[in-house]
Amino acid sequence: MTAIFKKELWGYFGNWSAWFIIAAFSITATLFLFFFENSSNIFEIGSASLQTYFALCPWLLMFIIPAISMKSFAEEQQTGTLYWLFSQPVKISDIVLGKFFSVWLVGILCIIPSLVYLYTVYVLGVPAGNLDMGATLGSYFGLVILIAAFSAVGILASSLSSHQIMAYLLGVFMCFILYFGIEQLASYKLLGGADYLLSNIGFYQHYIAFTKGLIDTRDVFYFLLVIAAALFAAQYFVQKKK
């Protein structure tokens, strides 16, 4: 797994794609938080808080993470190197995990520049330091685990397709449905009491709990279960290609 992990990281950082993605993510977030007139603008809301950043990030990540993960298996199959991997003394599970952890790490690196926002908001608070660190740290934890879930879904999407563009579109679609689509469907209250259960199937309610500073083991377990299920499914589909 370590060899696959290093190989994938070299693939991302060796050709500058990871640097470009991290820069694009950071610039877009900066524009929304400090320059564009919108509900996420920190100066517009007049509050020393990064909660708008944590509300914005999932929408950016559901496009960014599939862009990182789309090449994981789709490109390997297009170029024929996937069959070379199969001939190596490495388990399919190690291949899947190595690719997953590399995508997850690049996703985490995308949010590292936000520490600059954290310092800025901390200094601009009245008085300085007037910041709910409990909610902020909980939000960061939730964001890291959400990135892991998006990464696992992106890996699954890539394992299902032999073309990178299709893998990307499928990854975006799956992330969108899991984060917002299920929650939106539950909001229509078409199923009566089952709407609550439906909303808990999606990512949104579990992620929002973290942004309130609440780290519940049930939410952590939910995400770990989703990640494990997505990676197990990806392993199954990769195995079928062998």
Q: Does residue 75 register a pLDDT over 70?
A: yes
Task: Tell me the pLDDT of the chain averaged across its residues.
Answer: 89
Q: What are the distances in angstroms from CA 178 to CA 9, 45, 87, 154, 241? A: 27, 28, 35, 12, 26
**Helical residues (DSSP H) of 15-91, grouped into ranges:** 17-30, 42-45, 51-69, 74-79, 81-86
Measured between alpha carbons, how far is 165 from 67 in angstroms, rounded to an integer? 9
pLDDT, one tens digit per residue, over 111-120 is 999 999 888 8
Q: Which of 78, 86, 233 is nearest to 154 (CA)?
A: 233
Higher pLDDT, 187 or 46: 187
Which of 10-24, 38-52, 160-174 is least confident?
A: 38-52
Looking at residue 193, its pLDDT comes to: 66
Query: What does the radius of gyration of the chain's CA atoms come to, in whole angstroms?
Result: 19
pLDDT tier at 178 (50, 70, 90 boundaries)? very high
Distance CA 47, CA 130 (A): 10
Q: 59-97: string of b/e by CB count within 10 Å (b at 16+)?
A: ebbbbbbbbbbbbbbbbbbeeeebeebeeeeeebebbbb
Q: Where do the structural domains in the chain lie, given as residue ranges?
A: 2-241
Report pLDDT for 189: 73
The answer to whether residue 88 scores a pLDDT higher than 90 is no
The confidence score (pLDDT) of residue 11 equals: 87
Q: Is the predicted pLDDT of residue 13 greater than 80, yes or no?
A: yes
Secondary element (H or E) of residue 109? helix 92-111
Instruction: Give the H/E segment covering residue 94.
Output: helix 92-111
C-alpha span between 62 and 58 (Å, rounded)? 6
State the average pLDDT over residues 222-239.
96
Are 147 and 104 contacting, i.e. CB atoms less than 8 angstroms apart?
Answer: yes
| Concatenated DSSP letters of 16-37 | SHHHHHHHHHHHHHHIIIIIS-
pLDDT at 191: 67
Contact 170, 157 (CB under 8 A): yes
The answer, yes or no, to whether residue 80 has pLDDT greater than 80, is no
